[in-house]
Structure 1
């Protein structure tokens, strides 16, 4: 099993819970993580059927090393608590909750998971998609030390609705503050951060550009709405061969007895400090985890 700390989450693909064919097809897709969706992708009159489909699929397994997450409806909806209880029983790697706004929400979700019988290692992921969540992002992040919280998932479509904003022509104009504040909180509290979706399935160039922007901001991966987007996200959010080669060189340089006690070295012509050693080890660990998942 891949270490959760270095588990690749380059591609996190939403799968509509009402579509049993899609849930089955997911077993063949090269996505790192799958979100079985009971919320936005499911019409109100199909919620219970979708819940049964998703939980049956999660229980049956067959998804290999892909990480399985079930997105429930909010606990304040008529479906939320039943979703959570059934999802916990189905035994996914994580539960994803929508529309959280503060640390109290995280505590309530964690308590509900405990009451439903969730094991300690079942993760809690949360959607960051409400203006109040951005204003209280540190309060949310601080819950990581006392709850199952591990992951932020940016809900840029809901943010667009709430802000009356548009990702075009420049996503940063609409979401730059929200994305940056969420990333700051994620890194400050060692939380995984997954970028929001790209809606235009046919625009491969736009998808790549947005993946590259998200990677440059520090996101660990991207949520996706179609299998055709997986390959691009996997490529962009993986360490490049050059990065992996340099990381190995940095690790070797600091391990050389001749460099014992040195805090700064020149590695392949680049000034390298001890702080770069930690990042080099992370890059190598993620690269090895990606290779292991492909076997």
Structure 2
């Protein structure tokens, strides 16, 4: 389902905060049940040592199948295509039936097609969607085709650390070296109606820098941000949620438009409002309602 259809149907799912959790760490998986996070990526890849891959796979699949994580969206990040663990990871993840399977370094639409076929072969339930990580120059140049390839693809996850490495760039405030890549991925995701998630912020002690990058991602149009530490969750949720002022303004715009009964243009607080402004306002309200519903289920 595309983004606009999801909002209209009331099936929009917030993904403000998406936290990587090392699946070899059982205490971390237990702690995740209490975090106010929108989604979890139970990691089998970078955060897991080679000698812990089997344990991590077993833990992640058990967690995904448990139903113990409430309204949180549960995904499993498998090891990359071509690695010695990929096929086993993918088969096990499909059997566990998480909300999503995250695949690192997806570079082409052909790889998306092969992943979807493999998911079907391994009996992944229909609700288990594919999340493709966009982490290389090749992926950026192919991202439009990647985003269009399959209805099973639900999200693009930007791997900013790998992109910085591949570009031979530096991590700098404002992320100037990445702006072209971020924009291309967002354009592709919006055209195809799928979620686009910003990359991680590495310095967990730099709250001001983290907030600034969250605000930049929100202003760019990202659905949310991937995270590496539980301490980043609450600030991320705050930044990516509509503010009280934005909700109030959106309510006023929708009310004025509906009162105008198809006039085509109305005025709200001295501002001319057209249908495009109403669409934005309705998206703000749908996001706010979905977040409020999630908060209510956590009480």
Pairs within 5 Å for 1:122-271 = 122-143=128-149, 146-172=150-176, 174-256=177-259, 259-271=260-272
What is the number of residues matched between the two proteins? 289
Secondary structure of the equivalent of 1:76?
Answer: coil
Q: Give every structure 1 segment of 4 or more consecutive aligned residues whose post-TM-superposition deviation is greater than 2 Å.
A: 2-5
Displacement of 1:147 in angstroms is 3.5
Contact in 2 for aligned 1:73/1:98 (Cα 8 Å)? yes
Aligned partner of residue 202 in structure 1, secondary structure: coil
Q: Which segments of 5 or more consecutive residues in structure 2 lack a partner in the other structure? A: 1-6
1:42-57 equivalences under 5 Å are 42-57=48-63
Cα distance, 1:49 vs. partner?
1.0
TM-score by length of 2: 0.94
The equivalent residue for 1:101 is 107
What's the offset of the Cα at 1:189?
1.1
| Alignment check: 8 A CA contact 1:72 1:96 kept | yes
1:219 and 1:59 mapped to 2: Cα distance?
A: 29
* Runs of 5+ unmatched residues, structure 1: none
Task: Write out per-residue CA displacement over residues 126-185 of structure 1, whole angstroms, 9 at most, x where no aligned residue.
Answer: 101011000111111111xx340010111001111111111124412x211100110111
Alpha-carbon separation, structure 2, partners of 1:273 and 1:69: 39
Question: What RMSD, in angstroms, separates the aligned Cα atoms of the two structures?
Answer: 1.4
Q: 1:140 to 1:5 in 2, by over 3 A?
A: farther
Aligned 8 A contact 1:6 1:289 in 2: yes
| TM-score between the two structures when normalised by the length of structure 1 | 0.95
Q: Which piece of structure 1 moves more, 229-238 or 114-123?
A: 114-123
Task: Provide the secondary structure at the position in 1 that maps to 2:272.
Answer: strand
Q: 1:254-289 CA deviation, whole Å, 9 max, x = no partner?
A: 211xx2232221112222110111121111111011
> Does the CA contact (< 8 Å) of 1:96 and 1:126 recur in 2?
yes
Q: Residue 287 of structure 1 aligns with which residue?
A: 288
